[in-house]
Structure 1
Amino acid sequence: MRTIREFEDRLHVEFATGEIPGFVHLYAGEEAIAAGVCAHLNEDDYIASTHRGHGHCIAKGCDVKAMMKEIYGKKDGLCHGKGGSMHIADLDKGMLGANGIVGGGPPLVCGVGLSAKVRGTKQVGVAFTGDGGSNQGTFLESLNLAAVWNLPCVFVVENNGYAESTSTNFSTRGIDIAKRADGFGMPGVVVDGHDFFAVYEAAGEAIRRAREGGGPSLIECKVNRYYGHFEGDAQTYRAPNEVENIRRERDCLDMFARRVTDAGLIERSELEQIDEEVRALIDEAVEEAKAAPEPGQADLLSDVYVSY
């Protein structure tokens, strides 16, 4: 969670310099979801992400320095500088990619689930989707397909209250998106997306159930993002002090730190050491990304076709 937060906070600063090409959508504030879910996944499990995918990448084990190079559009990036922030992927780590198509991830994990079922493996596919994506036909079709075929899939809705700038009060009827699971005969639960332990517990049960042949589940994590929909978003749709109040009262890192230190599980000094190590890692990642080579003209036609 600390690595995701430092990565995103630093990108917020670096993007303002104009050195990073393309769009950037930051995950800060939602760290407990990616961390709580991916803690249960094995390296051969797969996740499908959204346009806000850095946190999912890091939680699934993608190399932070290679991610930073990718976002800077450098040749040594995870996708050789051709994907950037919105299409960052690492199939070797089971990260099917960030996705500029809203609701594009759920059908992909149905493919993962079908593959695992046919081959008899214990792999699980997890799709992260936003509240806006939950209103796409692809999302609902995927829930139905996963239920009909009893696939080992988990659908995680990161409900941060806004589909771009549109509040869920205007776009979504009903209190909980998770209730839609009832229509497909699968479990649906709502958890506090700021609470790592709540996410961890719900995800653990859903992933265990999927591995054991129990079929798909839907988890709705109610959470808030700290930055705009994209970098440069003026956020005029948000209430005064909305983000400041959330940061003060519901920050997932602060909540985690209080709980583990109060319980005597981890010393405050251990957390501070992690913070220092992560800050050094992000400093190195940015420094190396800025110095890394750009793709050359010869790279234009590579990675275009697949050789069968």
Structure 2
Amino acid sequence: MRKMLAAVVSHVFSGVTQKPAMRGVLASLNFSNDATCDIKKCDLYRLEEGPPTSTVLTREEALKYYRTMQVIRRMELKSDQMYKQKFIRGFCHLCDGQEACCVGLEAGINPTDHVITSYRAHGLCYTRGLSVKSILAELTGRRGGCAKGKGGSMHMYGKHFYGGNGIVGAQGQVAEAYNISALWKLPCVFICENNRYGMGTAVERAAASTDYHKRGNFIPGLRVNGMDILSVREATKFAADHCRSGKGPILMELQTYRYHGHSMSDPGVSYRSREEVHNMRSKSDPIMLLRERMINNNLSNVEELKEIDADVRKEVEEAAQFATTDPEPTLEELAHHIYYRNPPFEVRGTNKWIKYKSVS
């Protein structure tokens, strides 16, 4: 999940004048180690009980979650800027506003679990362990990208992560996946990130029933507050435990919201009002909700969180600099990485006289 922040303990001798940084260290020693937090009850389908309605949040967890969500938010805003500067081309779907979904998901599963996703996956790339540099460099098509600059926004991959394809809940495929996973009692957690709009159409205009957590029919379901990282974390733990215990698949609907349009070609204001977006930002923003929870429960303070924000901005700026200066792949690398750990072989180009060599 990236590096964690820890309080630094220093020995202070009496009579020595404290510098501002030292005062900050001393103040951090007065923070609470953890806090019990109430979370919204999930709507249940074909389940007798669901996730808990309260959970413990430690200071260490809170700092890690906060920093991770801020990195994703800053990375997506930087991606927006780089797209408009034409460093990024083609399809690009941003997930700012949905940070609690990917961070909460990662907090509720094991690093060895496999995650498969459609597009709008930059945040999941990061929580699965890819660096900001490798993500932004992939968006700009550079050799240092996580897919060597060949995949772009919709095709990113990492360890135990298969990210980005163009199929988003296609009706037939999803129904077939539900069916076979239920027949074989496969340990699958199906997740619907319901950000309220399918491209440019509100869910209420497109679906006679918006109870997406019930769409599995014979599969149990949960409807979760996807703007609260703790709700997502506890629901994910519950769903993962359900699967690991041999009960078969389960479906989670995460009710969330995207701030940007569907893609970079969509300004996102023709089918929803600016007031709606503003209200979501001001009342339900996942980073704001976590920040308030941390401060109200004495897990951190404004000064410490500002330091994290500054560190995150620096990391993202350095990554963007790398992503715009790293070399692009050479033509000779066009056919590389077709297979994993495979001996080199020849690949025909656009005609039979053009030959490329594929190297794993």
Instruction: Report if aligned partners of 1:72, 1:84 keep a CA contact under 8 Å in 2.
Output: yes
> Which aligned pairs between 1:131-280 and structure 2 lie closer than 5 A?
133=170, 136-181=171-216, 183-184=217-218, 186-235=219-268, 236-280=270-314
Cα distance in 2 for partners of 1:277, 1:211 equals: 38
Instruction: Report if aligned partners of 1:25, 1:52 keep a CA contact under 8 Å in 2.
Output: yes
**Per-residue displacement from partner, 1:71-125 (whole Å, max 9, x unpaired)?**
11001211111000111111x2x1112112223xxxxxxxxxxxxxxxxxxxxxx
Q: Number of aligned residue pairs: give it.
A: 273
Cα distance in 2 for partners of 1:280, 1:272 equals: 13
Cα distance in 2 for partners of 1:50, 1:270 equals: 35
1:190 aligned counterpart, secondary structure:
strand
Structure 2 residue 135 is matched with structure 1 residue 100 = no
**Per-residue displacement from partner, 1:4-50 (whole Å, max 9, x unpaired)?**
10110111111101121211100000000111111122222111112
Q: Taking structure 1 as reference, are residues 89 and 144 closer, same or farther at Cα in structure 2, changes over 3 Å only?
A: same
Moved over 6 A (4+): none
Cα distance in 2 for partners of 1:80, 1:87 equals: 11
Instruction: Report if aligned partners of 1:39, 1:59 keep a CA contact under 8 Å in 2.
Output: no
Cα distance in 2 for partners of 1:41, 1:69 equals: 27
What is the match of residue 106 of structure 1? none
Q: What TM-score comes out, normalization by structure 2 length?
A: 0.73
Over the matched positions of the two proteins, sequence identity in percent amounts to 37
Amino acid at match of 1:27: C
> Which aligned pairs between 1:12-161 and structure 2 lie closer than 5 A?
12-90=80-158, 92=159, 94-103=160-169, 133=170, 136-161=171-196
What is the match of residue 283 of structure 1? 317
Instruction: Report if aligned partners of 1:66, 1:77 keep a CA contact under 8 Å in 2.
Output: yes
Structure 1 or 2: larger helix share? Answer: 1
Instruction: Report if aligned partners of 1:28, 1:227 keep a CA contact under 8 Å in 2.
Output: yes
Unpaired segments ≥5 residues, structure 1: 104-132
Instruction: Report if aligned partners of 2:109, 2:237 keep a CA contact under 8 Å in 1.
Output: no
The alpha-carbon deviation at position 146 of structure 1 amounts to: 1.4
Amino acid at match of 2:166: G
Instruction: Report if aligned partners of 2:239, 2:250 keep a CA contact under 8 Å in 1.
Output: yes
What is the match of residue 2 of structure 1? 70
Structure 2 residue 304 is matched with structure 1 residue 304 = no
Unpaired segments ≥5 residues, structure 2: 1-68, 344-360
1:232 aligned counterpart, secondary structure:
coil
Cα distance in 2 for partners of 1:265, 1:223 equals: 25
Cα distance in 2 for partners of 1:283, 1:305 equals: 33
Q: What TM-score comes out, normalization by structure 1 length?
A: 0.84
What is the match of residue 329 of structure 2? 295
CA RMSD of aligned residues (A): 1.5
Amino acid at match of 2:286: C
Cα distance in 1 for partners of 2:337, 2:129 equals: 23
Q: Which structure would you say has the larger Rg?
A: 2
Amino acid at match of 2:167: I
